[in-house]
Amino acid sequence: MATDTLVKPAGTGPVAWRRLLGSWDAILILALLLVVLVATATIEGVGSPRFYRFVVLEAIPIALIALPMTLVIITGEIDLSVASTVGLTCSVLGQLWYLGVTSLPVLIVVSLLLGAVLGAVNGVFVTAFGLPSLAVTIGTLALYRGLAYVVLGDRAIADYPPAWTQNAVAPIPGTVIPWFVLVLAALAVMCGVVLHTTPIGRSLYAIGNNAEASTFAGISVLRTKFWLFVATGAMSALAGVFWTFRFASARADNATGLELAVVAAVLLGGVSIFGGRGGLVGVLAAVALLGVLRNALQLADVPANALTIVTGTLLILSVVGPNLVHMTRERIRRRRLVTTTLERASS
């Protein structure tokens, strides 16, 4: 005799809330709140508006690059040349300005195009020649940084119009938050919509899980990866433009080591280094967490070497932590599936 069973729609009720609160994104947000509370209570100056202004200014270039880097890593690739791309675009912008070639708006466009070309070089080596992105971008990391020194040497170009350098870091009226956050927010929303609500985003996850199967499913794997590298290069150039005007200085060594902070933020944000898993909410939370933690430790007079150790430790945690959470959730899901199967068999 058949009986009517009331079934709750998937994604509703207490189970959905428990799944949400147990997600890596929620863990990161709670960790961020905890760090803010503890640091505010124990370190002088952490709770001031000035502190959070510096946190945001430091986080902007990292977040800008982390957006496309998230998409790249989801497809199973990586780009370690981003900091060198920042340095090279800064150097070219500075040198052209020093030579009086053209106006700053045109130079900004040139910088973005240069970043796209540098990203395209990575994309060609990875997609056309089938080389591993790790090896390719380690090579271009050194190449682009070397070219930056060829362009500028040890010089620093710092004679930019004050209006440009001041407006780059000017706050939103009535706040201490730099207005450039609005640009970052718009780009983050755009990337989030593409990744989480469109067929393009679903194809990125499919590529990361199984590139060969994605090809048979009609997804243009190589073309997709190529344009992701182009986007990463262009976004790195935008970060370079912001970096130049924020510090009012174009140098060949600008953003040295920034790739470590970007990769740490993306992986700590829950994106799997093997591809196929992750999202932007966790990445942005990780950027904020790393920014608050780093600036708080600096206020506490923690040596720079210790900050590097903290970043390295978090990088390891970023690989281990999300995978442990994922494995635990999979184990619980399988256990519930077995329990449900046994209950149905016994009834």
| pTM (2 d.p.) | 0.88
Distance between CA atoms of residues 271 and 289, nearest Å: 16
Q: What is the pLDDT of residues 210-234, one digit of tens each?
A: 999 999 999 999 999 999 999 999 9
Written as six digits, the tokens of 321 are 């932590």
Beta bridge partners of 250: 157
For residue 171, the 8-state DSSP code is: B
Residue, of 12 and 300, whose pLDDT is higher: 300
Residue 165, amino acid: T
Say if residues 63 and 235 touch (Cβ distance below 8 Å): no
Q: What's the mean pLDDT when you consider all of the chain?
A: 90
Say if residues 36 and 292 touch (Cβ distance below 8 Å): yes
Q: What is the pLDDT of residues 47-66, one digit of tens each?
A: 899 999 999 999 999 999 99
Q: Tokens 């124990």 correspond to what residue?
A: 42
Q: What is the pLDDT of residues 168-209, one digit of tens each?
A: 999 999 999 999 999 999 999 999 999 999 999 999 999 999
Say if residues 141 and 259 touch (Cβ distance below 8 Å): yes
